[in-house]
Structure 1
Amino acid sequence: MRKSATPLLIAALLAGVAGPAGAKKDKDAPAATQGSSVEPENPYPSTYKAYPGTATAIRGATIFDGEGGRIDNGVIFLSDGKITAIGGADTPIPADIAVFDGTGKYVTPGVIDIHSHLGNYPSPGVDAHSDGNEATAPVTAHVWAEHSIWPQDAGFSRALANGGVTSLQILPGSANLFGGRSVTLKNVPARTMQGMKFPGAPHGLKMACGENPKRVYGSKGREPSTRMGNMAVNRATWIKARDFQKKRAAGKDQSRDLGMETLADVLEGKILVHNHCYRADEMANVIDMGKEFGYRVTAFHHAVEAYKIADLLRDNGVCSALWGDWYGFKMEAYDGIKENVPLVHRAGACTIVHSDDDNGIQRLNQEAAKALGAGRRMGIDIPDEIAWTWLAINPARAMGISDQTGSLKVGKMADVVLWNGNPFSTYTRPNKVWIDGALLYDSANPKLRPVSDFEVGQIGAGDVK
């Protein structure tokens, strides 16, 4: 039997009647610019509006601040959607506010997943919902992942309730060398993609190396069919993009080109490059290509062989978004090791744990725990609070949102998880999750167990009839 809408979804629907604060009227929409060199600044702006919260304090918990700090028997205070105070047991707590006892529990920033396809490969996983790969040409820089997102994907609520995920980047798939723009979302119920869109977050550009592009297009008898073909098409595309960017910068009149606008924005540092790439040699080639054309890869995703070139990644300021132990499922993933994450971390390179999976996103704390354990078994003893940076400030920095979230610092968004034990334990689950200070998940309150209106009934996911 299909579930009825949850209170949060109903609230989202009701909030939409009046429209979110700050939403543009139709008369303010960007004018058409056909034939002009001017790109609309933001033709699909965020209309995100935080759910209202109440002033809240958590005391007595062990706090990981997301930047490597730890406070035992700590206190954190949330009000007006922000973190207002954080400190030890003597931190003042105002009277007449909601206070939660965190004794024996842990508090962390909300988990941030830098690599997700929720919404553009939603549940149920049927062909009608397969909207992540525009696999019609090796270069599809003109498409935007946000235009495929279905906000009612049940995966969003599962990621919140089971994994404490409060923000996530949605990327196009990896069939193409240039897959298109990514978008960053707040993990809240909303009627539209714009209502989830993280305010002020930059777009990303999804690129891909290796087997996927050459297999997809080589099988169609077209370029690229080899890794050298991959690089050749990449370079030829960047040459065109550089020419377009120079003309645009000079104010020369030219017709709009959606793909070239995206790539020109990359060259001007407005869009961040997120590159699917497994093998060390290919990552090195892409780093060189970035130097040739004047852009930098923000993060290599999957990066199964990152441990082989961890110093190169460190020296070039490139993050690695990694799995704990997912490898060996195809040739370019064959040379993976369980110690990849801790080895990259030990080298001083930016290290991130990511999912790329609608189940994995619900267990990113366990994915990080597997990597942490593998490191300790080989003598790399990384403290728990340092390892939490892999799920918090590091992905936030690589997504361009670290000034707003990713750590428990005064003035940042109150995106907070209270775990019922050490979050690196297999037995630990979120107890409560706040986004912008609003309590959106509470394991003790059936009305705050968010479930999509299209959710398939599961034990523990609400009332199943």
Structure 2
Amino acid sequence: MRLRAHPFIALAAGLGLAACATTPASDTQTQTATPFASTYRPAPSVPTLIRGATVFDGEGGEFANADVLMQDGRISAVGANLAAPEGAAIIDGAGRFVTPGIIDAHSHLGVYPSPSINATSDGNEMTQPNTAEVWAEHSVWPQDPGFLRAVAGGITTLHILPGSGNLFGGRGVTLRPVLEAVTVQEMKFPGAPQSLKMACGENPARVYGGRNTSPATGMGNVAVYRQAWANAQRYARRLERAENGEGDPPDRDLELETMAGVLNGDIRLQWHCYRADEMANAIEISHEFGFEIAAFHHAVESYKIADLLREEGICSAMWADWWGFKIEAYDGIRENIPFVHEAGACAIVHSDSEVGIQRLNQEAAKAMADGNRAGLDITRAEAWTWLSRNPARALGIEEETGTLTPGRRADVVVWSGDPLSSYAVAERVYMDGALIYERGADRDPPSDFELGQTYTERAQ
């Protein structure tokens, strides 16, 4: 994605505007300098060779009767007749498919956990239109049973966002579904940038218009955006002058700190937006204030401006076929994802659902089939880029995961058959080369919130 320089932003790294977890040289080391830093540690792994499978590499390539070798938590090689290192686990891939792990770029697991009750519904701080100061990770409940369900669907990485009731919803966080985690820091993807969640359209206008406060209209939304970014620019300028020895820095303001991180490029902007005209307005605002938009989310009308999105380098995180549940979602079409892909823009399949995250492979299959029926020639390996490489790009982790490129983290799923078939299931899920899920195997220990169900089933 091309970066647009901004003349007013030159922020010192020590000011902590990004607040993302700085990665040490090794994931097994813990950093304490950054507040709420990642303490994620990959599970122990052994060299593993998967032999003779059909492989989607995440870059759009498909290889028959291929091998995948994982060593030291990384992809070592993909090819034919690979030699197994001494002591390696050998997996028979005959009749099976191997893919990169699925990355869900838009999830609310942990902040809206299962079962859905008021006590644990912590995703929307709907107290004012701009709550850029809040962090979704501070609401994540690591014991949400939804994380296990997601892993069983082939998920190895997911981005947790606040809800869309506010114009500025707060920071999002990229997590690993560590099923034994008791703190969110144990789940944080090392080095992944945080995001700022923004929302346009009906949601914030409905929430605040009903209170007789701004915004109540589309024009109110845009006015509040622009004033907030103007305030953030002033804050950033004062930081810059202080860094140059020209006066004292401003008092710390967590709201403006987040927004200054977006202006500086350290925090990625994820924008909930449905309509093409509103996405175009958002792009104009990004030009006015000099920041980048990583992705529009839901984006049911991206097909109308696919060329603009390609030129701007903005991804679209979309559903396969959700539409019509409110007016701004009414002009959705089933060919949205494939049309964006065909235009050369960045297409992503996302869930926004604790149920949909369990079958994102099937959502991609539906979109591929709709595109092919419309006359597009989209291969199944190309469709897989919507689930791994492209979401990794939108989250700023494409150098670490999303493809089976040697050197990337060994986030790998072994499927029982073609993963774009509704009959296929994830048989084995590897994260950093460690087997974290095997279909049919008992979990030991099971989730605290599934003990009764698990042990009752065993007793029977």
TM-score for both structures, normalised by structure 2: 0.90
Q: List per-residue Cα deviations over 1:36-70 (Å, max 9, x = no partner).
A: xxxxxx31100000110111110110000111112
Correspondence for 1:272: 268
Letter of the 1:44 partner, please give it. F
- How much has 1:452 moved relative to structure 2? 2.5
User: Do structure 1's residue 160 and structure 2's residue 174 form an aligned pair?
Assistant: no
- How much has 1:462 moved relative to structure 2? 6.9
Correspondence for 2:359: 363
Correspondence for 1:309: 305
Correspondence for 1:454: 449
* Distance across 2 between alignment mates of 1:464 and 1:391: 38
Residue aligned with 2:204, SS: helix
Residue aligned with 2:448, SS: coil
> Using a 3 Å threshold, how does the CA distance of structure 1 residues 64 and 458 change in structure 2: closer, same or farther?
farther
Residue aligned with 1:404, SS: coil
Q: Which of residues 332, 335, 343 in structure 2 aligns to 1:336?
A: 332
Q: Which of residues 408, 412, 415 in structure 1 aligns to 2:408?
A: 412
Q: List per-residue Cα deviations over 1:110-135 (Å, max 9, x = no partner).
A: 00000000000011100000100000
Correspondence for 1:15: none
- How much has 1:463 moved relative to structure 2? 4.1
User: Do structure 1's residue 49 and structure 2's residue 41 form an aligned pair?
Assistant: yes
Identity between Structure 1 and Structure 2 (%):
57
Residue aligned with 2:294, SS: strand
Q: Which is further off, 169-178 or 94-103?
A: 94-103
Correspondence for 2:162: 172
> Using a 3 Å threshold, how does the CA distance of structure 1 residues 446 and 286 change in structure 2: closer, same or farther?
same
Q: 2:351, 2:360 within 8 Å by CA — same for their partners in 1?
A: yes
Correspondence for 2:199: 208
> Using a 3 Å threshold, how does the CA distance of structure 1 residues 217 and 311 change in structure 2: closer, same or farther?
same
> Using a 3 Å threshold, how does the CA distance of structure 1 residues 59 and 21 change in structure 2: closer, same or farther?
closer
Q: List per-residue Cα deviations over 1:226-264 (Å, max 9, x = no partner).
A: 000000000000000011011112224211000100000
Q: 2:430, 2:437 within 8 Å by CA — same for their partners in 1?
A: yes
Q: 1:113, 1:395 within 8 Å by CA — same for their partners in 2?
A: yes
Correspondence for 1:421: 417
Q: 2:173, 2:188 within 8 Å by CA — same for their partners in 1?
A: yes
Letter of the 1:63 partner, please give it. V
Residue aligned with 2:184, SS: coil
User: Do structure 1's residue 134 and structure 2's residue 116 form an aligned pair?
Assistant: no
Letter of the 2:405 partner, please give it. K
Residue aligned with 1:297, SS: coil
* Distance across 2 between alignment mates of 1:337 and 1:48: 40
TM-score for both structures, normalised by structure 1: 0.89
Residue aligned with 1:122, SS: coil
Residue aligned with 1:454, SS: helix
* Distance across 1 between alignment mates of 2:154 and 2:49: 18
Residue aligned with 1:75, SS: strand
Correspondence for 2:291: 295
Q: List per-residue Cα deviations over 1:383-415 (Å, max 9, x = no partner).
A: 111110000010001101011100001111111
> Using a 3 Å threshold, how does the CA distance of structure 1 residues 458 and 328 change in structure 2: closer, same or farther?
farther
- How much has 1:461 moved relative to structure 2? 12
Q: 2:54, 2:96 within 8 Å by CA — same for their partners in 1?
A: yes
Correspondence for 1:86: 78
Residue aligned with 1:240, SS: helix
Q: 1:143, 1:181 within 8 Å by CA — same for their partners in 2?
A: yes
Q: 1:430, 1:443 within 8 Å by CA — same for their partners in 2?
A: yes
Q: 1:109, 1:406 within 8 Å by CA — same for their partners in 2?
A: yes
* Distance across 2 between alignment mates of 1:377 and 1:71: 24
| Alignment gaps of 5+ in structure 1 | 1-19, 31-41
Correspondence for 1:284: 280
Correspondence for 1:181: 171
User: Do structure 1's residue 386 and structure 2's residue 372 form an aligned pair?
Assistant: no
User: Do structure 1's residue 248 and structure 2's residue 239 form an aligned pair?
Assistant: yes
Letter of the 1:22 partner, please give it. Q
**Correspondences of 1:392-407 after superposition (within 5 Å):** 392-407=388-403
Q: 1:451, 1:462 within 8 Å by CA — same for their partners in 2?
A: no
* Distance across 2 between alignment mates of 1:158 and 1:168: 13
Correspondence for 2:253: 257
Residue aligned with 1:72, SS: strand
Q: List per-residue Cα deviations over 1:275-321 (Å, max 9, x = no partner).
A: 00000000000000000000111000000000011011111111000
Q: Which of residues 425, 430, 435 in structure 1 aligns to 2:431?
A: 435
Q: Which of residues 54, 61, 84 in structure 1 aligns to 2:53?
A: 61
User: Do structure 1's residue 23 and structure 2's residue 30 form an aligned pair?
Assistant: yes
Letter of the 2:167 partner, please give it. L
Letter of the 1:454 partner, please give it. F
**Count of matched residue pairs:** 428
Correspondence for 2:18: none
* Distance across 2 between alignment mates of 1:225 and 1:461: 52
> Using a 3 Å threshold, how does the CA distance of structure 1 residues 134 and 370 change in structure 2: closer, same or farther?
same
Q: List per-residue Cα deviations over 1:135-167 (Å, max 9, x = no partner).
A: 000000000000000000000000001x10000
